[in-house]
């Protein structure tokens, strides 16, 4: 636990020092780590010394990280909380310009906002012991619906809350979300940007805090990507293509699969191939026909690339960095067709005649 404490203090030092030294105005501060502070329910008092970038608590155990977010105008002597949790709003200065004492916290989860100049610090605070956290794994290629299901099963937040938040404007402080040109045409605005990974969340954690953690991870993982590409795709289109590549490929054939779709986009009309025809898009936002609710008979996805020309309106899942890179840098091929056998073996073809032969070889069609 001592190692955790030392790591925690380093996290808060990195996050707080950027905005508390000299009280200088800091513009466009990037969002950093998002986690939680845990304090003992029997002595729920946090002492936050923003001058020395130290956080002291009367509890024996705590986790710590601070997220730096754009200023929301919250005064430094206020405590905001999850509306579902009864939390007192008691903050007082404690013998110094930068020293605050936060008390009155009850069992549950709260969010504390502290503002310095034009920068605001937000801390998720779990009052109680650390047994309230849970690891949630979001596999590569998960849809937003599947992510919401995983979070609800883990007791982190409800699917409804995720859906509502995912289509709100609450995350437009992220440039890659604010720049989405066709949000109204997408099933879920945040689809594709909740990076697949294993996360440690509090049970009952505020949904915005949860989704910001995942968006922060996406931002970090893609920070060094060069989005330029020979297909002339925008960043949003690359993410859409990458999500299809994620669902249609294996770890060993991503670049070849990407080449099929890029070839179809760029020159498919020259070989009488006018649509992407990706099976993974047919029933989006559901993974497959069997996942479509029974109350939606005859459901038709607006993303179905058997019916539309070009890319769908947005991503169909959360792709990995490897799939994003494959979409940006597809293999140089003349392939316009591909298929996989039940064992996962790949078959690529330049012509429909070759593809039909591959379907037989892969066991997907009977020889005639």
What is the Cα–Cα distance from 119 to 117, expressed in whole angstroms?
6
pLDDT at 99 over 70: no
Backbone phi, psi, residue 217, to 5°: -65, -45
- The 3-state DSSP composition of the chain as helix, strand, coil percent (nearest 5) reads 35, 15, 50
How many residues are there in the chain? 368
**The token pair that represents 262 in the structure block:** 């890029």
Residue 200: band (very low, low, confident or very high) from pLDDT cuts 50, 70, 90 = confident
- Averaged over 340-365, what is the pLDDT? 96
Backbone phi, psi, residue 14, to 5°: -65, -40
Kindly report the number of other CB atoms within 10 A of residue 265's CB atom: 18
Lowest mean pLDDT among 76-90, 99-113, 280-294: 76-90
**What pTM did the predictor assign?**
0.70
Choice between 230 and 41, residue whose per-residue pLDDT is larger: 230
Q: Is the peptide bond before 285 cis (omega within 30 degrees of 0)?
A: yes
Query: What's the confidence (pLDDT) of residue 188?
Result: 97
Task: Give the model confidence (pLDDT) of 81-93 as tens digits.
Answer: 433 333 334 444 4
Nearest-CA neighbor of 348 among 332, 364, 335? 335
- Collapsing DSSP to helix, strand or coil, 248 comes out as helix
- Collapsing DSSP to helix, strand or coil, 33 comes out as coil
Tell me the residue ranges of DSSP E strands in 128-256: 133-137, 198-202
What is the Cα–Cα distance from 194 to 205, expressed in whole angstroms?
16
**Nearest-5° Cα angle at 157, 154 to 159:** 95
Mapping DSSP onto H, E and C, the string for 57-100 reads ECCCCCCCCCEEEECCCCCCCCCEECCCCCCCCEEEECCCCCEE
Kindly report the number of other CB atoms within 10 A of residue 256's CB atom: 19
Who's near 239: CB < 8 A, 6+ residues apart? 192, 193, 314, 315, 319, 324
Query: What's the confidence (pLDDT) of residue 58?
Result: 45
* CB 172, CB 106: distance < 8 Å: no
Query: What average pLDDT is seen over the chain?
Result: 76
* CB 243, CB 327: distance < 8 Å: no
Query: What's the confidence (pLDDT) of residue 117?
Result: 41
Choice between 93 and 327, residue whose per-residue pLDDT is larger: 327
- Averaged over 139-155, what is the pLDDT? 96
- Averaged over 151-177, what is the pLDDT? 95
- Averaged over 342-359, what is the pLDDT? 96
- Averaged over 155-169, what is the pLDDT? 95
Query: What's the confidence (pLDDT) of residue 211?
Result: 95
**The token pair that represents 236 in the structure block:** 């949003």
Strands 198-202 and 133-137 turn out to be antiparallel
Who's near 202: CB < 8 A, 6+ residues apart? 36, 109, 124, 126, 132, 133, 134, 156
Tell me the residue ranges of DSSP E strands in the chain: 37-39, 46-49, 54-57, 67-70, 80-81, 90-93, 99-103, 108-116, 119-127, 133-137, 198-202, 337-340, 346-349
Given CA atoms 328, 333, 339, 343 in this order, what sign does their dihedral have?
Answer: negative
Choice between 128 and 273, residue whose per-residue pLDDT is larger: 273
What is the Cα–Cα distance from 327 to 262, expressed in whole angstroms?
8
Residue 124: band (very low, low, confident or very high) from pLDDT cuts 50, 70, 90 = low
Lowest mean pLDDT among 29-38, 86-95, 226-235, 273-282: 29-38
């Amino acid at each position: 636990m001592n190692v955790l404490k030392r790591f925690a203090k380093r996290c808060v030092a990195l996050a707080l020092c950027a905005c508390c030294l000299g009280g200088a105005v800091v513009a466009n501060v990037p969002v950093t780590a998002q986690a939680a502070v845990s304090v003992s329910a029997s002595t729920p008092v946090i002492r936050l010394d923003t001058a020395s970038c130290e956080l002291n608590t009367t509890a024996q155990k705590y986790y710590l990280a601070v997220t730096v977010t754009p200023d929301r105008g919250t005064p430094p002597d206020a405590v905001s909380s999850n509306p579902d949790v009864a939390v007192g709003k008691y903050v007082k200065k404690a013998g110094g310009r930068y020293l605050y004492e936060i008390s009155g916290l009850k069992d549950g989860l709260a969010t504390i906002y502290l503002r310095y100049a034009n920068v605001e610090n937000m801390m998720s605070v779990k009052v109680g012991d650390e047994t309230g956290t849970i690891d949630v794994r979001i596999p590569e290629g998960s849809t937003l619906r599947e992510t919401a299901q995983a979070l609800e099963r883990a007791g982190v937040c409800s699917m409804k809350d995720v859906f509502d938040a995912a289509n709100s404007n609450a995350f437009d402080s992220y440039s890659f979300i604010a720049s989405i040109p066709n949000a109204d045409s997408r099933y879920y605005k945040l689809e594709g940007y909740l990076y697949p990974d294993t996360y440690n969340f509090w049970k009952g954690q505020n949904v915005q805090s949860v989704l910001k953690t995942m968006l922060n991870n996406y931002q970090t993982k893609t920070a060094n990507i060069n989005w330029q590409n020979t297909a002339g795709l925008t960043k949003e289109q690359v993410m859409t293509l990458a999500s299809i590549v994620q669902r249609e490929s294996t770890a060993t054939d991503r670049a070849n699969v990407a080449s099929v779709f890029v070839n179809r986009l760029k020159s498919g009309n020259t070989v009488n191939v006018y649509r992407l025809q990706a099976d993974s898009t047919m029933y989006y936002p559901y993974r497959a026909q069997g996942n479509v609710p029974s109350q939606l008979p005859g459901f038709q996805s607006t993303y179905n690339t058997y019916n539309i020309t070009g890319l769908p309106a947005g991503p169909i899942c959360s792709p990995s960095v490897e799939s994003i890179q494959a979409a940006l840098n597809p293999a140089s091929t003349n392939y316009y067709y591909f298929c996989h056998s039940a064992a996962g073996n790949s078959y690529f073809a330049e012509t429909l005649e070759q593809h039909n032969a591959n379907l037989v070889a892969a066991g997907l069609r009977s020889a005639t």
